[in-house]
Amino acid sequence: MERLRLATVWLGGCSGCHMSFLDLDEWLLELPARAELVYSPLVDTKEYPLQVDLALIEGAICNADHLELIHQIRQRTRTLVAFGDCAVTGNVTAMRNPLRRAEAVLNRAYIELADLNPQLPAQPGVLPPLLDTVLPVHAVVPVEYHLPGCPPPADRIKTLLAQLLEGRTPQLAQHQIRFG
């Protein structure tokens, strides 16, 4: 059986979904037989490769880098899964959205709430500029499947992945579609 080219991506999120992915424990040992991990924060690949079959996207679209990357990912990937609540809804990362503008967010974080040396990070080119509004992945590019949860428990990830690896349209049980 040909191995699936699998990517996992970490955008605006806490990496908790990836931690949950690692909770797949011994199933992770079976995974390489079925899939090749071609891009992930867990492996040392800098450039998102071409012709990826399946990508799990953790995190929301928060800054200019995410925006650029997600379009590249969409172009190069057959099936996208919004992986976890941040990717699906924006979740905690989107809690800054009521402030409306990136400057207001930076001001809040670095000036209003600073204990020492209130100042905005000023060195250009180091950090990607924030978007005014944090967006769930499907608000930017089409997404095939959504896997809610903060983080999605390992068994939920397994249910989805196992079916996708078999080339089936994934079905989740009702209780597995749950935010939070």
Partner 1 sequence: MAAKTLTIDGQLVSAEENQTLLEAARDAQIPIPTLCHLDGVMDVGACRMCLVEIVGTPKLLPACVTKVQEGLEVRTNSERLQRYRRLLLELLFAERNHVCAVCVSNGHCELQDLATQHGMDHVRYAYQAPNLGVDLSHRLYGLDHNRCVLCTRCVRVCWYIEGAGTLNLAGRGTGSMIITDLNQPWADSDTCTACGKCVQACPTGALFYKGATVAEMERDRQKLEYIVTAREKKQWNV
Partner 2 sequence: MLLEDLIKIKEAELARRKKHTLRCCLAAGCISSQGQAVKDALDQAVQAAGLAAEVEVRGVGCLRLCGEGPLVAVDPDGVLFQKIRPEDAPALLSTLQGETSPLDRGDLQSPFFKHQLPLVLENSGLVDPDRIESYIAADGYLALRNVLREMAPPEVVSAITKSGLRGRGGAGYPTGLKWATVAKTKSTRRFVICNADEGDPGAFMDRSVLESDPHRVLEGMIVAGYAVGAEQGFIYVRAEYPLAIQRLQNAIRQAKQMGLLGSGVFESPFNFNIDIRIGAGAFVCGEETALMASVEGRRGQPRPRPPFPAESGLFGQPTLINNVETFANVPPIILKGPEWFASIGTDKSKGTKVFALAGKIQTTGLIEVPMGTPLRVIVETMGGGAPAGGQIKAVQTGGPSGGCIPASHLDTPVDYESLTTLGSIMGSGGMIVMDQTTDMVDVARFFMEFCRDESCGKCVPCRAGTVQLHELLAKILARQATQRDLDRLEELCDLVKHTSLCGLGQTAPNPVLSTLRFFRHEYLERLQPAHPNPPSAPPTPATQPPNTAPVNPGAPA
Instruction: List residues binding partner 1 (CB under 8 A).
Output: 82, 85, 88-92, 94-95, 97-100, 133, 136, 138-139, 143, 146-148, 150, 172, 174-175, 177-180
Beta bridge partner(s), residue 4: 35
CB of 55 closer than 8 Å to CB of 79: yes
Nearest alpha-carbon partner for 11 in 140, 164, 157: 140
Selected from 98, 125, 142, 180, the binder of partner 2 by CB under 8 A is 142
Q: Which one of 8-16, 59-67, 102-110, 136-144 is the stretch in contact with partner 2 (CB under 8 A)?
A: 136-144
Closer residue to partner 2, CB minimum distance, 46 or 175: 175
Selected from 36, 144, 154, 155, the binder of partner 2 by CB under 8 A is 144
Q: Is 6 in the site for partner 2 (CB under 8 A)?
A: no
Q: In whole angstroms, what is the distance from residue 124 CA to residue 126 CA? A: 6
Q: Is 173 exposed, middle or buried (0-12, 13-18, 19+ CB in 10 A)?
A: exposed
